């Protein structure tokens, strides 16, 4: 995960430096990997950012952390993870705006309902709401024609984050 963040940060910084120095749009630039022309450089940087799959990779990690945070009644951590899921989705919508429509039921309904249960501090309510939250993920996947990707309630803790 840190490597992906570093690649994205490096690519962004390279683009900023290149843009700030640009005086001739047809000028060739000397870069190690990004390309020679501005068109190649931008295309390769966009490729490094990836599509919505990068967003889903981060969301999957945070989804798992969110579940265990709620189960442990670590409400601050649960709220943090849900906020990060929504933030990651927003970044993904920049790259793939067509995904916003199918995820609206998730971002506009399921996530706010789950946040309410997190704020309430009820473990039982959280666990019930989390099941609906997982179903909402699967609804979005079906709408995007990737229904073969089924989200379930996590059974294994993959990190050491606990109370």
pLDDT at 158: 84
Predicted confidence (pLDDT) at residue 145 exceeds the cutoff of 80: yes
Q: Across the chain, what does the average pLDDT equal?
A: 85
Residue the block writes with tokens 């249960």: 117
Higher pLDDT, 128 or 49: 128
Please give the pLDDT value at position 138.
Answer: 95
Alpha-carbon torsion angle 119, 121, 125, 130, nearest 10: 60
Q: Exposure of 79 by Cβ count < 10 A (0-12 exposed, 13-18 middle, 19+ buried)?
A: middle
What tokens were used for 108? Answer: 């506009």
pLDDT digits (tens, 9 = 90+) for 74-117: 999 999 999 999 999 999 999 899 999 999 999 999 999 999 99
Q: What H or E segment, with its residue span, contains residue 34?
A: none
Higher pLDDT, 32 or 86: 86
Is pLDDT above 90 for 30? no
* Average pLDDT over every residue of 2-22: 60
Read off the pLDDT of each residue in 114-142 and give the average, rounded to a whole number: 96
Q: Are 27 and 19 in contact (CB under 8 A)?
A: no
pLDDT of 33 reads 74
pLDDT score for 40: 85
Q: How far is the C-alpha of 155 from the C-alpha of 158, rounded, in Å?
A: 9
pLDDT per position as a tens digit, 51-82: 888 899 999 999 999 999 999 999 999 999 99
HEC string of the chain equals CHHHHHHHHHHHHHHHHHHHHCCCCCCCCCCCCCCCCHHHHHHHHHHHHCCHHHHHHHHHHHHHHHHHHHHCCCHHHHHHHHHHHHHHHHHHHHHCCCHHHHHHHHHHHHHHHHHHHHHHCCHHHHHHHHHHHHHHHHHHHHHCCCCCCCCCCCCCCCCCCCC
State the pLDDT at residue 45: 80
Kindly report the pTM of this predicted structure: 0.74
More confident residue, 41 or 75: 75
């Amino acid at each position: 995960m840190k490597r992906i963040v570093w690649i994205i940060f490096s690519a962004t910084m390279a683009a900023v430096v290149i843009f700030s120095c640009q005086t001739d749009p047809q000028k060739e630039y000397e870069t190690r990997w990004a390309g020679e022309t501005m068109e190649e450089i931008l295309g390769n940087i966009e490729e490094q950012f990836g599509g919505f799959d990068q967003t889903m990779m981060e969301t999957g990690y945070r989804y798992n952390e969110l579940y265990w945070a709620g189960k442990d009644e670590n409400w601050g951590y649960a709220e943090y993870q849900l906020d990060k899921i929504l933030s990651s989705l927003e970044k993904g919508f920049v790259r793939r705006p067509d995904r916003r429509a199918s995820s609206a039921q998730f971002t506009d309904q399921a996530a706010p309902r789950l946040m309410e249960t997190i704020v309430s501090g009820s473990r039982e309510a959280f666990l019930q709401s989390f099941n609906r939250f997982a179903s909402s993920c699967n609804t979005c996947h079906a709408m995007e024609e990737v229904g073969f990707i089924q989200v379930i309630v996590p059974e294994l803790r993959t990190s050491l984050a606990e109370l």
